Amino acid sequence: MIAIRTAAEIEKIAHSALLVSEALDLAGSVIKPGMTTREIDAVVDDLICSRGARPAFKGFNGYPAASCISIDEEVVHGIPGDKVIREGQIVSVDIGVEWEGYYGDAARTFSVGAVSAEKQRLMDVTLTALLEGVDQAREGNRLYDIGYAIQNKVEEAGFSVVRDLVGHGIGQSLHEPPQIPNYGHPHRGARLCSGMVFAIEPMVNMGTWEVETLEDGWTVITADRLPSAHFEHTIVITEGDPIILSKGN
């Protein structure tokens, strides 16, 4: 069952989502060659806690950090550690926040210095695909209209959408129904209604859509080791245009 949130609940989700956006803004501003992913995570953790909120990922199913930081061929769920960030890489940062019992979740992919034209195109296409998916999150549409729009944008650019990982509902838990694939056939799935809150998150690979999970049990990488990009927003469906709750600077 997909929850329909009250205005008061949406305000709390929005606050959490804005804190996620603030943390992503900060992460993007500090990422530079020579930093470790652990150093970035510490900055994120400190900011969230300083705002009176809780890093939602820390402790989630045993996850040890405040953020997921994934580099180049790492799709999602990279565990922050001693890995050093280098010029020319792309770095995806995924952050969740819980505040007063409500959750926000978002991700962005950042370039480290000058990146290749194809990596930049991958990032641009992924962000555009996310926004086109968000635009389909409208009252009266169907759930799979979102994924259909994302898949079309990605595949017309010659890239592929990850199929093993999906977006999700969000609110009083980090992951709630429904699952939101980034692919599918239009006009299918649950009817969308005002008050539904979703985390829409295309993960787009330069090569194959297939992925593998490393021995740490968390880090997902592309099967062909080509780069991947990840963008995510927490959004709410309204009677008019969808509202992005995690929109940053």
Q: What pLDDT score was predicted for residue 142?
A: 98
Mean pLDDT of 202-211: 98
Question: Which helix (H) or strand (E) covers residue 13, if one does?
Answer: helix 7-30
- Check residue 4 and report its DSSP letter: -
Q: What pLDDT score was predicted for residue 154?
A: 98
Q: What pLDDT score was predicted for residue 248?
A: 67
Q: How far apart are CA 179 and CA 90, in angstroms?
A: 27
In this structure, are residues 208 and 224 in contact, taking their beta carbons and an 8 Å threshold?
Answer: yes
Mean pLDDT of 195-208: 98
Q: How far apart are CA 136 and CA 192, in angstroms?
A: 10
Mean pLDDT of 229-239: 98
Mean pLDDT of 119-131: 98
- Sequence spans of domains, the chain: 7-244
pLDDT for residue 242 is more than 70? yes
Assign a CATH topology to domain 7-244: Creatine Amidinohydrolase (3.90.230)
Complete edge-to-edge strand list for the sheet that includes strand 203-205: 160-161, 203-205, 228-230
pLDDT for residue 113 is more than 70? yes
Maximum CA extent, the chain: 48
Strands annotated E in the chain = 54-55, 67-71, 74-76, 90-99, 102-111, 160-161, 167-169, 176-180, 197-200, 203-205, 211-213, 220-222, 228-230, 233-236, 243-244
Mean pLDDT of 46-67: 98
Q: How far apart are CA 184 and CA 152, in angstroms?
A: 10
Q: What pLDDT score was predicted for residue 249?
A: 55
Average pLDDT, the chain: 97
- Give percent of the chain above pLDDT 70: 99
CA angle 209, 59, 48 (to 5 degrees): 90
pLDDT digits (tens, 9 = 90+) for 138-186: 999 999 999 999 999 999 999 999 999 999 999 999 999 999 999 999 9
Pick from 93, 94, 131, 91: nearest CA to 115: 91
pTM of the model: 0.97
Mean pLDDT of 44-52: 98
- Give percent of the chain above pLDDT 90: 99
In this structure, are residues 143 and 160 in contact, taking their beta carbons and an 8 Å threshold?
Answer: no
Q: How far apart are CA 45 and CA 21, in angstroms?
A: 13
Strands annotated E in 29-154 = 54-55, 67-71, 74-76, 90-99, 102-111
